[in-house]
Amino acid sequence: MLNQNQTPLLDALKANAARPHAGFYTPGHKRGQGISPRLTDLLGEAVFRADLTELSELDNLFAPQGVIQQGQQLAAEAFGAAQTYFLVNGSTCGIEAAILATCGMGDKIILPRNVHSSVVGGLILSGAMPIFVNPEYDPVLDIAHSITPTSLQAALEQHPDAKAVMIVYPTYYGVCGDAHAIASLVHQYNIPLLVDEAHGAHFAFHPQLPMAALAAGADLSVQSIHKTLGAMTQASMLHVQGNRVDSDRLNKALQLVQSTSPSYILLASLDAARQQMALHGFELMSDTLQLADEARTRISQIPGLSVLHFPPSPPSPLPPSSFVTLDKTRLTVTVSGLGLTGFEAEEILDQLGVTAEFASLQHLTFIISLGNTAEDIQQLVQGFITLAQMTGVNKNEKDLKLPKLVWDYIISLGNSVRMSPREAFFAESETLPIEETTECICAEIVCPYPPGIPILMPGEIITDNAIAYLQQILAMDGMISGCADSSLKSLQVVKE
């Protein structure tokens, strides 16, 4: 057992920030002396004294032998990994490195279709060929959950030469599928299970939270420590166990996708966040769960509103393995019963001093974390009370005419991929008016919010249904990102 009270990297950074010396190394602001006063007015001076480079006392992220190595070893023990890597380019670089470490040009990787856009980046960089599996879809709530062991089994039987499987656990809505059964199934083929666990960094620290991916048998997981724990934005970790992921190749992949000038402030925040959770995680998560339960209970009693909870009520017709449990710190409130879209409700709540994590057509989703307070929950609940009073509950939800994201209908996953994302990304492309792009091969990422996942990606066939859905998202004040023309009047396609 290691002494989890230690913060070796943080301590070394603190000592070097306080050491008087004449510095002739990067960064150019020289420990804050050259920083604009307007920035120091906002942030103070101390943070810039700690903005240091790879001094010998601070170790090297790509070949750690000192305080970074010690910090990563402490994190591995705290999070239940055999080895942990600190990430300063967010979970995005961890996802990309995971794919690069397991898949090469033309190799198959099995994925759910509701993957984050960073996965597309990993596919483009590696040249891997995606084999998509439909996530189970709730047509009432218009939410895609997880893939099931049954659907994964079918994909593995059809593609026994796949090099890896990646799953999203939990989804953005906090829904967790059957990771344990999926891991067991994947390992029957002696390939690794990679997990995008960006929103589950807190799982290992309380029994009332879902099982962490590593505990469920995953070979590799990537966690955004900044999303639900106490690290700074962009600070993440990659955890591995077992021998199905080649450590040398993973190291090389991380060097490709991470900055050669890592922020030691971000690295130190990972060290501090790990110590905080190792020592006080159970208590902090207990308080967080209590706040989340209070919010869920009180908001569900407001007429016109409902919350996503487990088990689903009424009982869901979906396979139970697609929704095994729910992260109770993730609160999704359905507002369509008030006659509002999630976008409209978000705008009103923002004016009331309450800001959601994201809005979708029917819902608002909130992240309740160790940084929230009882006063925050009171303001959240009061915001919804005011929202309900302002709108009333007399409008008919059907009047909203909400488009539905029906996975089997919009995206024919078995036939939609015509070339690898890498091949399409680097192919000669042209920009066409959107009405002329049907049946063309997409050459860019088209990612709407909602649902925050790519509806079209390089290499996929563009369908009328996909275009119609995207245009409805824009009409409902949603946002399209990733593509060159966010107004969606045109799309980039592979030139024939």
Residue 245 lies in a domain: yes
Q: How confident is the model at residue 412 (pLDDT cuts 50, 70, 90)?
A: very low
Average pLDDT estimate for 34-54 = 95
Q: Is the pLDDT of residue 142 over 90?
A: no
| Domain edge (last residue) among 277, 295, 317 | 277
Q: Per the domain annotation, does 158 fall within a domain?
A: yes
Residues 384 and 459 in one domain: no
**Does the pLDDT at position 315 exceed 90?**
no
DSSP code at position 258: S
Cβ-based neighbours of 317, under 8 Å, separated by 6 or more: none
CATH code, domain carrying 295: 3.90.1150.10
What residues make up the domain containing 296?
281-400
- Split at pLDDT 50, 70, 90, the class of 318 is confident
- The answer to the question of residue 316 being in a domain is yes
Domain boundary among 346, 370, 400: 400
Query: Do 23 and 120 lie in a common domain?
Result: yes
Confidence check: pLDDT of 286 > 60: yes
Please report which confidence band the pLDDT of residue 476 belongs to, taking 50, 70 and 90 as the band edges: confident
Q: Examine residue 482 and state whether it is found in any structural domain, yes or no.
A: yes
Q: Are residues 159 and 295 in the same domain?
A: no
Instruction: Write the CATH number for 426.
Output: 3.90.100.10
Asked whether residue 2 is domain-assigned, the answer is no
Instruction: Look at residue 140 and give its three-state secondary structure.
Output: coil
| Whether residue 70 is found in the same domain as residue 152 | yes
Q: pLDDT band for position 209 (50/70/90)?
A: very high
Task: Quote the tokens at residue 489.
Answer: 């009047």
Higher pLDDT, 82 or 418: 82
* 1 belongs to a structural domain: no
The answer to whether residue 161 sits within a structural domain is yes
Separation between Cα atoms, residue 247 and residue 251, nearest integer Å: 6
Rounded to the nearest integer, the mean pLDDT of the chain is 92
Q: Which of 352-356, 406-410, 479-483 has the highest mean pLDDT?
A: 352-356
Is the residue at 210 inside a domain?
A: yes
Confidence of residue 306 (pLDDT cuts 50, 70, 90): very high
Distance CA 384, CA 305 (A): 9
Residue 361 has pLDDT above 50, yes or no: yes
- Of 409 and 21, more confident: 21
Q: Are residue 285 and residue 269 in the same domain, yes or no?
A: no
Same domain, residue pair 251 and 315: no
Q: Is 50 exceeded by the pLDDT of residue 393?
A: yes
User: Is residue 413 located within the same domain as residue 386?
Assistant: no
pLDDT digits (tens, 9 = 90+) for 156-174: 999 999 999 999 999 999 9
Residue 313: pLDDT band with limits 50, 70, 90: confident
Domain boundary among 349, 379, 400: 400
CB–CB of 417/130 below 8 Å?
Answer: yes
Determine the Cα angle at 202 with ends 198 and 207, to 5°.
Answer: 130
Say which DSSP state 459 is in: T
User: Which CATH number is 124's domain given?
Assistant: 3.40.640.10
Domain count, the chain: 3
